[in-house]
Amino acid sequence: MEKTMKLEIFRYRPDQEDQPRFQTYEVPFREDWVVLDAINYIKDEIDGTLSYRWSCRMGVCGSCGMMVNGIPKLTCATFLKDYYPDKIRVEPLTGFPVQRDLVIVMDDFIHKLREIKPWIIRREGEEKPIEGGEYLQTPAELEQYKQYSMCINCMLCYAACPVYALDNTFVGPAAIALAQRYNMDSRDQGRDQRQEIIASHEGIWECTFVGECSVVCPKAVDPAGAIQRSKVSSTIDWYKEVLIPWGGKKR
């Protein structure tokens, strides 16, 4: 007999019901299947009404993040065999409103991502003309921020963060890690602009260092580390401003 596995899936269809519920599906068990394969099987063979996001199937696009047995995971990298023969519970990422079934509303994250200006900013008058060529960087300078640049915006870190779940005003792990990525880039001069958001109450100081964001990150970005390092440099800024008369000047 073919081995099978049960998936308990969060369903919410706002056009039909006010409250979400769980629906159980039985799918074939295959050694090489990931949770996303099982969900695709459900969509194709059992219930076409199931809604969820996915794209690349190889841990690059960051679309298929879901809660698997309560832990935020990229479902394309979460194997059924690690759970077999137990039932797997699949839910939309926590901390976000649910649009439908496993689809979350990500507007808040996208808004925060834009707010921290994740691009290279040059001071006025210091931007090179195109003919001037690229801004050069040594491997050591690249090493300073490379880890933070690996973020794929999958939002698993937000789903792992109890601070964000309790208070959505928190700028959150990925956005702060990305701010840090540009702040530490030798070609960038935009730190002062980003500090308005990063050093605000809703920024780094909201973080209580639970550390779970770094645990669930599929790209080893270590947002928790980025936030704490940002706290250290913001604190140094503050001391400079208070103790040194000329220290508060913008660089």
Compare residues 167 and 196 and give the one whose CB is closer to another protein: 167
Q: For Cα atoms 67, 52, 49, give the angle at the middle one, nearest 5 degrees.
A: 125
- Widest CA span in the chain: 79
φ, ψ (nearest 5 deg) of residue 44? -80, -35
The one among 78, 198, 212, 217 contacting another protein by CB under 8 A? 212
The region that residue 220 occupies, defined by phi over 0 for left and psi between -120 and 50 for alpha, beta otherwise, is: left
Contacts with another protein by CB under 8 A: the residue count is 30
We find the least distance from the C-beta atom of residue 126 to another protein, in angstroms, to be 26
Show the binding pattern over residues 156-195: x = contacts another protein (CB under 8 A), - = does not.
------x--xx-----------------------------
Closest contact distance (angstroms) between CB of 166 and another protein is 6
Structure tokens given for 135: 């801004």
23 sits near another protein (criterion: CB under 8 A): no
Candidates 55-63, 169-177, 214-222, 236-244; binding stretch for another protein (CB under 8 A):
214-222
Nearer to another protein, 77 or 215 (CB): 215
CB 152, min distance to another protein, A: 21
Q: Is 12 in the site for another protein (CB under 8 A)?
A: yes
Spatial separation of the C-alpha atoms in residues 92 and 70, rounded to whole Å: 10
Cβ neighbours of 184 (radius 10 Å): 21
Residue 232 contacts another protein per CB under 8 A: yes
Degrees, nearest 5: CA angle 243-188-135: 135
Q: List binders of another protein among 59-98 (CB under 8 A).
A: 70-71, 94, 97-98
**E strands in the chain:** 4-11, 21-28, 65-68, 71-74, 88-91, 98-100, 103-104
* Contact between residue 230 and residue 176 where contact means Cβ atoms under 8 Å apart: yes
CB of 243 to another protein, least distance (A): 21
Shortest distance, CB of residue 12 to another protein, whole angstroms?
5
215 binds another protein, rule: CB under 8 A: yes
Specify the amino acid at residue 18. D
Pick the binder of another protein from 61, 229, 234, 237 (CB under 8 A): 229
Q: Do strands 65-68 and 88-91 pair parallel, antiparallel, or not at all (unpaired)?
A: antiparallel
- Choosing from 140, 220, 245, 249, the residue that interacts with another protein (CB under 8 A) is 140
Element (H, E) at 243: helix 223-243
By CB under 8 A, is residue 99 in contact with another protein? yes
Q: Which of 72, 75, 41 is nearest to 55 (CA)?
A: 75
Chain contacts with another protein (rule: CB under 8 A): 12, 14, 19-20, 70-71, 94, 97-99, 105, 140, 143, 162, 165-166, 208-212, 214-215, 222, 224-225, 228-229, 231-232
